[in-house]
Chain A
């Protein structure tokens, strides 16, 4: 039991993150200070939220490349709503963000479920469509910080018990989805639908419908993140979070979520996101040439994937002795 715990994917990642922190501290001593780590966690919160959604989608053998575009579209819509109705309470803004995000996710889900289009094609398409819609809505113009109401910008920054609301939302999402994924029928259905779709069908699980719900959850989380993002950076325009979907997928892969589906945990997604977040926050302060930074981020991902592939490799049973010698 203990041995399984120590060799588990999550324990390895915790070790890697610890090692990373020590390494960074040798170059920039202030990095591991609790207040800075809280900042890093806060900065990584959007990535954590999206990684949880993406993990669920990947569990069902799908992939959602439209999360960043969904985030940008929802962010633009809520900031335009805020400009039009500055008095609207933030609770409604959050509700609109989650609702619209979920709707966009459902659109992906319907195409995958009812029309059986490969998810990578569907979400590549909707990714472009969502960005295009932002352009149509905004005419390519920005929504700037002085146009947003103070309450709109204050919400993710408000501190409760020393941590900003943005961080608390990420913590809350980790707990809720931790429970959903391990303790509910829907949560287990995600694993079943991706781990072995045929067996899942025999067990009475509608695989397509499960995938639909996975996309809906991913969309809702992306929508919520959309509001948090534009509020945090106090600006909304067509290209916000451009390319962020790749970070989200990378966080999942680093966190041990199998691209083949069926394997992955919320804790893994959380740790994968934190790993990337720490690298992103450390690179500006460790004084490494910007020309090297991209290569370092990429290298970290490759190493994580190699470790992942090694850990998940199942040895085939050798039937012919000669074949073994030949190879």
Chain B
């Protein structure tokens, strides 16, 4: 349903754009193009929804939601070339390739188009600003906070990771350990590795419950692990005793939230991401902000970002999903 609306919208917009060319259309409206990895992906359609929300809030902004039909850099280059020809004011892209888009995006910037990347970034000289959904430090803090929030009196938690060599998971766990001091009474009893295989993760979760009979929570910062752990807890009849939390996708975790095996989990919110990307693109294109290290850019209801030395910034804490909002998001991504 949603998909159809957006495709129609895109088709309509690009048709309008090509008919009126660069002159006729109400030029007062700032045109911000949201270029996604591919059309028809729930995550990006939710991001477009956020972009529309930002546009409505800002006023005088027109969102062009577009992207290739498959996730290729070539497809995105074509789309961006078309956008340059239409002389849009800003392009916000979630890139299929870090480097391949750089020459095209450079050309866009030479024409005075504001270029930012979000979600999946492009190399530094291909964009003015990159918006990360979150940062390693924020994620590390969030995963332990999720467990601690449901353990007011403290308790034992264990980590179920992907493989021993997964870079992302290792960094997040490291960041988590750094902030353990802020959560007194929470005890990390062990870290095990499910190798991102459903069966091994399931067994490791079973093993944790056997080795630590008083275990209160399992933190799984990996989408395969969190689902398998929730199933293991449900099968062991320990729902209510052991809370499974970490990072997962709403569509995959809806069952675990419903059964109560997981109280809450986190992942970025695509709506906020699209909203923030639009806010940044607008601020840069309108001259309200400049892209330079240390610059602070307001992103409306989400807060303020500060650019680091590579002109990239982290949007916010991962968004928490629980029984109150899972219904809304499980069909999105």
Q: Beyond A36-B210, A145-B254, A290-B164, list 6 extra A-B contacts (CB 8 Å).
A: A146-B255, A229-B199, A235-B228, A284-B210, A285-B211, A290-B192
Q: Mark A231-255, 1 if CB is under 8 A from B, else 0.
A: 0011100011111100000000000
When C-beta atoms are compared, the residue in chain B nearest to A144 turns out to be B252
Find chain A residues with CB under 8 A from B44 CB.
none
When C-beta atoms are compared, the residue in chain B nearest to A31 turns out to be B210
**Are A234 and B211 CB-contacts (below 8 A) given A43-B203, A280-B203, A284-B192?**
no
When C-beta atoms are compared, the residue in chain A nearest to B42 turns out to be A141
A290 touching B193, Cβ below 8 Å = yes
**CB neighbors of B among A277-318 (8 A):** 280-281, 283-285, 287, 290-291
Main secondary structure of the interface of B (DSSP, over half): helix
B210 CB contact (under 8 Å) in A239, A285, A290, A291: A285
A291 touching B164, Cβ below 8 Å = yes
Q: How far is the CA of A287 from the CA of B192 in the complex (A)?
A: 10
B203 touching A234, Cβ below 8 Å = no
B258 at the interface (CB under 8 A from A): yes
B258 touching A146, Cβ below 8 Å = yes
Q: Mark A15-41, 1 if CB is under 8 A from B, else 0.
A: 000000000000010100000100100
Q: Mark B186-214, 1 if CB is under 8 A from A, else 0.
A: 00000011000111101110111011000
A142 touching B210, Cβ below 8 Å = no
Q: How far is the CA of A229 from the CA of B211 in the complex (A)?
A: 25
**Are A144 and B254 CB-contacts (below 8 A) given A233-B231, A290-B164?**
yes
**Are A235 and B198 CB-contacts (below 8 A) given A142-B252, A284-B192, A290-B164?**
yes
Q: How far is the CA of A287 from the CA of B228 in the complex (A)?
A: 20
Count class of interface residues, chain A: 20 to 34
B238 at the interface (CB under 8 A from A): no
Q: How far is the CA of A290 from the CA of B330 in the complex (A)?
A: 34
23 CB < 8 A contacts A-B: A43-B203, A43-B206, A144-B227, A145-B227, A145-B254, A146-B330, A157-B235, A233-B202, A233-B228, A234-B227, A234-B255, A235-B231, A239-B197, A241-B199, A242-B197, A244-B199, A280-B200, A281-B207, A283-B207, A284-B206, A285-B207, A290-B164, A290-B192
B164 touching A287, Cβ below 8 Å = no
B207 touching A284, Cβ below 8 Å = yes
B256 at the interface (CB under 8 A from A): yes
**Min C-beta distance of B248 to chain A, whole Å:** 10
B251 at the interface (CB under 8 A from A): yes
Find chain B residues with CB under 8 A from A284 CB.
192, 203-204, 206-208, 210-211
Find chain A residues with CB under 8 A from B254 CB.
144-146
A28 touching B210, Cβ below 8 Å = yes
Main secondary structure of the interface of A (DSSP, over half): loop
Interfacial residues, chain A to chain B (CB-CB below 8 A): 28, 30, 36, 39, 43, 142, 144-147, 157, 229, 233-235, 239-244, 280-281, 283-285, 287, 290-291
Find chain A residues with CB under 8 A from B207 CB.
281, 283-285
Find chain B residues with CB under 8 A from A280 CB.
200, 203
Q: How far is the CA of A234 from the CA of B226 in the complex (A)?
A: 12
A142 touching B193, Cβ below 8 Å = no
Top-6 shortest CB links A-B: A284-B207, A145-B255, A146-B255, A146-B254, A233-B198, A285-B207
Q: Which of B164, B199, B211 has the most CB of A within 10 A?
A: B199
Q: How far is the CA of A144 from the CA of B254 in the complex (A)?
A: 8
Q: Mark B313-332, 1 if CB is under 8 A from A, else 0.
A: 00000000000000000100
Q: How far is the CA of A144 from the CA of B197 in the complex (A)?
A: 15
Q: How far is the CA of A291 from the CA of B192 in the complex (A)?
A: 10
Find chain B residues with CB under 8 A from A244 CB.
199
Q: How far is the CA of A27 from the CA of B197 in the complex (A)?
A: 26
Q: How far is the CA of A30 from the CA of B209 in the complex (A)?
A: 12
Q: How far is the CA of A290 from the CA of B197 in the complex (A)?
A: 15
Q: How far is the CA of A136 from the CA of B198 in the complex (A)?
A: 21
B251 touching A287, Cβ below 8 Å = no
Q: How far is the CA of A281 from the CA of B227 in the complex (A)?
A: 19
Q: How far is the CA of A248 from the CA of B111 in the complex (A)?
A: 60
A235 touching B203, Cβ below 8 Å = no
Find chain A residues with CB under 8 A from B211 CB.
28, 284-285, 287
Find chain B residues with CB under 8 A from A235 CB.
198, 227-228, 231, 252
**Min C-beta distance of B38 to chain A, whole Å:** 11
Q: How far is the CA of A157 from the CA of B253 in the complex (A)?
A: 20
Q: How far is the CA of A255 from the CA of B255 in the complex (A)?
A: 39
Q: How far is the CA of A25 from the CA of B210 in the complex (A)?
A: 13
Find chain B residues with CB under 8 A from A43 CB.
203, 206
A240 touching B255, Cβ below 8 Å = no
Q: How far is the CA of A290 from the CA of B251 in the complex (A)?
A: 30
**Are A30 and B210 CB-contacts (below 8 A) given A233-B198, A284-B192, A290-B193?**
yes
**CB neighbors of A among B238-277 (8 A):** 251-256, 258
**Are A144 and B231 CB-contacts (below 8 A) given A233-B199, A284-B204?**
no
When C-beta atoms are compared, the residue in chain B nearest to A164 turns out to be B235
Find chain B residues with CB under 8 A from A240 CB.
198
